[in-house]
Amino acid sequence: MNTTPFLGRSIHLMGIGGAGVGALVPLLRAVGATISGCDAHSSPAIERFRRQGIAIEIGHDQAHVEGVDILVHTAAVGPDHAEIAAARRLGVVVMTRAQCLVQLMQGTRTIAVAGSHGKSSTTWMLGHLLVQAGLDPVVMVGGGVAALGEGGARVGAGNCFVAETDESDGSFASVDPEVAIVTNLDHEHLRHYGSFDALLAAFRGWLMKIPAHGLAILPVSGAAATLAAGLRCRVLHCGLDTGEVHAENLELGGEGSFLHVNMSGIDIGLMPVPLPGVHMALNALMAITAARWLAPDCDPGTLAGCDRVARRFTVHGVAQGVRVVEDYGHHPTEIRATIAAARLAGGRVHVLFQPHRYSRTIDCFGDFATAFDQAAAVVVAPIYAASEAPIAGVSAAALVAAIAERRTLAGEAQPVVAVAEAAAGIATLVAAARSGDTCLVLGAGDIGRLAPALLRALTAPGGEAGAPVVMAARGDSTW
């Protein structure tokens, strides 16, 4: 990693409890920086950093930037924020998380993972494969990983820097990769880009930056496949059935999959995929493609020991024969894929879903209405605003009405309800679930806090579910 901008500098991280900014902590400390931070609310990540001796304040204050050399902030914080304005007045260097990441990448072999869905899991699968191959990479993941002490970054001594990049605000375009993976492209973040065509153009421009000796890894079908045209680098397409890299003898299971990896007509071995679903099998194929490019002898079998990224099909346990799974899925495409993956274990799938952002709910409303077709009981929590202002007519109740209308037309009798309180959501799933079923707790907000309470409630149906669950992370939830 590049130490020049950070060695001996005092760096303040706004939003240090978030997965993206928090992952910078071990990387910046490794290059000789002194770290402080702040966030709106406490969290397990913040407590972990405090145990490491990092000074963290809860809340924001202009005084935080006094005596600081560099202020790093998440792109979700606007340029008019009081702390950022104060930093500029004091001559403090202000960087976004993405700009800081780009500085750290300077001089490394950068392997960037981008796309609408599956970035975190693909990034960590690739990082794990390279570690097993002996390359000792730096890895930055947009979620916690048990092998990384529940953080999202690995500090390696090698010259490979594997990073999940963020297309939501266009910041991925500042990364100059030698190898790039685009998992897929979907109608997401179009309020930033203006149109899907503009999103495609942004990705195409980014891939054009890959040098001739580099590699672009794309899916064999879908919008992302069209990005290959005109690239000067090598392009490899991955697919479950076709492509230069594809799966053979794919066996799908409730906890993961097995497949043989075919590269250019050669079977390079059996690869166990430690997450269920066809989408994760494709993500794994992309990861092994990049890994073999960088380490030609990389054994696909070593993926067997790969941890799951936090909130990516995290199994909290089984009670009364009912499995409780938490997942970050919050877009209709992700919801469908996660429900399909859960169904591989047999039994019915019940869902407790928290919509994320009013804008996404309205922009994808029609797709949300159909995303739960393969679920049994569906409970929808209040929308997690993520600092957005409410939009008139956009609510959990409106989404439930659209889902229920489809079910009425299909003659289905499974409950679809909007709930205002956590206890009501838990009670609905407890009443619906029976042995052999799976309960999915889905969403990118604070809904994951309910998974342990749901597991307790299933353990003793009709009894106490345990301590009350307060759903008020970052002030967005009404629970």
Say if CB 6 and CB 34 are below 8 A apart. Answer: no
| Residue finishing a domain among 305, 324, 350 | 305
Give pLDDT tens digits for 48-78.
999 999 999 999 999 999 999 999 998 778 7
Residue 396 has pLDDT above 80, yes or no: yes
Give pLDDT tens digits for 152-193.
999 999 999 999 998 888 889 999 999 999 999 999 999 999
Here the CATH number for the domain that contains residue 115 is 3.40.1190.10
Give pLDDT tens digits for 248-297.
999 999 999 999 999 999 999 999 999 999 999 999 999 999 999 999 99
What CA–CA distance (Å, rounded) separates 226 from 155?
35
Average pLDDT of the chain is: 92
Tell me, yes or no, whether 248 and 346 share the same domain: no
Tokens 């963020």 belong to which residue?
Answer: 166
285 in a structural domain: yes
Tell me, yes or no, whether 180 and 269 share the same domain: yes
Domain that holds residue 130: 107-305
Nearest to 181 by CA among 157, 206, 156: 206
Q: Which residue has the higher pLDDT, 472 or 2?
A: 2
Two tokens, residue 343: 């169904």
Q: How many domains is the chain partitioned into structurally?
A: 3
Tokens 């066809």 belong to which residue?
Answer: 278
Tell me, yes or no, whether 71 and 138 share the same domain: no
Tell me, yes or no, whether 49 and 115 share the same domain: no
Nearest to 439 by CA among 375, 362, 370: 375
Two tokens, residue 232: 């000067």
Nearest to 238 by CA among 180, 168, 296, 304: 180
Tell me, yes or no, whether 118 and 72 share the same domain: no
Please name every residue paired with 326 in a beta bridge, in sequence order, or none if there are none.
314, 441
217 in a structural domain: yes
Two tokens, residue 151: 């953080």
Tell me, yes or no, whether 116 and 250 share the same domain: yes
351 in a structural domain: yes
What CA–CA distance (Å, rounded) separates 345 from 342?
6
What CA–CA distance (Å, rounded) separates 63 from 61?
5
| Residue finishing a domain among 274, 305, 336 | 305
Give pLDDT tens digits for 295-306.
999 999 999 999
Tell me, yes or no, whether 143 and 193 share the same domain: yes
Say if CB 257 and CB 276 are below 8 A apart. Answer: yes
Give pLDDT tens digits for 463-475.
444 333 333 333 3
- pLDDT score for 135: 95
What CA–CA distance (Å, rounded) separates 21 from 101?
10
| Residue finishing a domain among 305, 325, 344 | 305
Tell me, yes or no, whether 188 and 328 share the same domain: no
Please name every residue paired with 418 in a beta bridge, in sequence order, or none if there are none.
380
Here the CATH number for the domain that contains residue 464 is 3.90.190.20
The one-letter amino acid code at 199 reads L
* Phi, psi of 69, deg, nearest 5: -85, -40
Tell me, yes or no, whether 92 and 56 share the same domain: yes
3 in a structural domain: no
Tell me, yes or no, whether 365 and 425 share the same domain: yes
Tell me, yes or no, whether 325 and 180 share the same domain: no
